[in-house]
Amino acid sequence: MTAAVTFLLFLLFPASASLRSDVLVLGDADFDYLASEHDTMLVKFYAPWCGHCKKLAPEFEKAAGKLKGSVQLAKVDCTSQVDTCSRFDVSGYPTLKIFRNGRDSGSYDGPRSAEGICRYMTKQTGPDSARLLSDEDLQTFVRHYDVSVVGVFSGEESSGLVDFVKAAGLLRDQFRFAHTTQMKLAVPYGLQSEGVLLFRPPRLANRFEDSVVVFRDCVTIPSLRRFIRGHVFGLCPHMTLENKDRLRVRDLLTAFYNLDYEHNGRGSNYWRNRVMKVASKYAGRGLSFSVANQKDFRAELEGEFGVGMSDSGDVPVVTVRTKAGHKYAMREEFTRDGTSLERFLDQYFAGRLKRYIKSEPVPDRNEGAVQVAVAETFDAVVNQPAKDVLIQFYSPSCLHCKKLEPVYTALAETLSSDANVVIAKMNAVDNDVPPSYDVRGYPTIYLAPAGRKDEPVRYEGGRELLDFLRFLRRQAGRSDVKQEL
């Protein structure tokens, strides 16, 4: 076909070029056949009407293009390919699963951005643990953006190597693994016998901690898992959108600024070194430290901490988020000598800091049948010890919430004569939701039972008046309330 003809076809059928996709479409008839042709494949099980699926679609498409040739991305429409989705126990949308040579090897639990999908799935290619034969192999492997875990063993039959490779298969979605039987490669790092070397990313090298951590104990899957998780992040890791959930299992201080290791590694470490200097003075007191790119977390800082962002991001913004969900922000400007950060930490550990709570204004009047709770009044409305409180978390833009409103109001009016039952609601978009309430969609409804406020009961029933009344009859904390209902 000549170039002229090709150009003419493009002019006549421009849509065909834009509709071309790198995402493989699979169905009941060809799933097994096509999936078995790929060493590693990420499959999205979806429904066309699903809002989360629509949001994921363009990111999934971008990732498919970037991973083309190494990892195949595919999709299955569960509204038409029912047998396949049933076979793989798909119960919600979107569901993402990783397949190896056509076999289901587990759920995909990684990020949903194109960049995150690429980074996560790149780790899924190749062997669970790379084999290193020379020092050149070792240096090439550890010069990486992420942590590198290298096992050193006396031979291929070593029991430690067997467990190391098994652990690599279980943890490869989080960490990079390699191994060698050339034990002399570990001597420069102080390891004379079998063991494991954990290499922190070269870009995070600093004078406050070792860049290489040595594990000398017997290598088993549990011991290796504990070692990696205990040392992988170091004194002050780089928090990203992909690893934030793993870092936030502890009380965490984060300095947000114009961090960019790709284009300005030296400038990125300028403020990190100052955070680390202070962090080293407070080690062992139950608070972890990290740094992050301010732009990545801009919406979170402004929405969840009430912190205004500067356009330049030259000076760090500092926050603390505890594992219980309490939030604090340093209002004083970060000084280059770190004294302002030390003052902030002294106040934090002394319990003198005021928690930041995102809350709508307290209503002037709260006389409706449905009580309105905001973050500032949540305890007063919901955590009344002697009352059973049904609390609905809603979004002002949620159509399902609007549809529920007349039924919910009727419920409140039906029970208005019972002083021991409260029907309440809270705008979960503009108010902080307490950590004990898992709100991922709207509306989400819980009962905070009398005498058991720390054990809220999630409502999973129908949306009619009688459904709510039956639920309260079953779950109400006191027998007299049950009788009244």
User: Over the chain, what HEC string results?
Assistant: CCHHHHHHHHHHCHHHHHHCCCCEECCCCCHHHHHCCCCEEEEEEECCCCHHHHHHHHHHHHHHHHCCCCCEEEEEECCCCHHHHHHCCCCCCCEEEEEECCEEEEECCCCCCHHHHHHHHHCCCCCCCEECCCHHHHHHHHCCCCCEEEEECCCCCCHHHHHHHHHHHHHCCCCEEEEECCHHHHHHHCCCCCEEEEECCHHHCCCCCCCEEEECCCCCHHHHHHHHHHHCCCCCCEECCCCHHHHCCCCEEEEEECCCCCCCHHHHHHHHHHHHHHHCCCCCCCCEEEEEECCCCHHHHHHHCCCCCCCCCCCCEEEEECCCCCEEECCCCCCCCCHHHHHHHHHHHCCCCCCCCCCCCCCCCCCCCCEECCHHHHHHHHCCCCCEEEEEEECCCCHHHHHHHHHHHHHHHHCCCCCCEEEEEEECCCCCCCCCCCCCCCCEEEEECCCCCCCCEECCCCCCHHHHHHHHHHHCCCHHHHHHC
Rounded to an integer, what distance in angstroms lies between the CA atom of residue 454 and that of residue 431? 19
What is the pLDDT, as a whole number, of residue 187?
96
Walk along the chain (485 residues) in steps of 10 and give the mean pLDDT of each run: 51 49 93 92 94 93 92 95 92 91 87 89 85 96 93 93 91 89 96 95 94 93 92 94 89 95 91 96 94 92 79 82 91 93 97 91 89 94 94 94 95 92 95 89 94 91 93 70 50
What is the pLDDT, as a whole number, of residue 17?
39
The amino acid present at 282, given as its one-letter code, is Y
What is the pLDDT, as a whole number, of residue 3?
52
Catalytic (active-site) positions: 50, 53, 398, 401
Say if pTM beats, i.e. exceeds, 0.85: no
What is the pLDDT, as a whole number, of residue 162?
93
Rounded to an integer, what distance in angstroms lies between the CA atom of residue 465 and that of residue 212? 62
What is the pLDDT, as a whole number, of residue 16?
42
What is the pLDDT, as a whole number, of residue 196?
97
Give me 421's structure tokens: 């039952």
What is the pLDDT, as a whole number, of residue 14?
46
Domains and CATH numbers, the chain: 20-122 (3.40.30.10), 130-231 (3.40.30.10), 238-349 (3.40.30.10), 371-484 (3.40.30.10)
What is the pLDDT, as a whole number, of residue 119?
85
Give me 111's structure tokens: 């990020």
What is the pLDDT, as a whole number, of residue 209?
94
What is the pLDDT, as a whole number, of residue 2?
54
Helix orientation angle between 51-66 and 114-122, rounded to the nearest 10 degrees: 60
127 C-beta neighbours (distance < 10 Å), count: 13
What is the pLDDT, as a whole number, of residue 251?
96
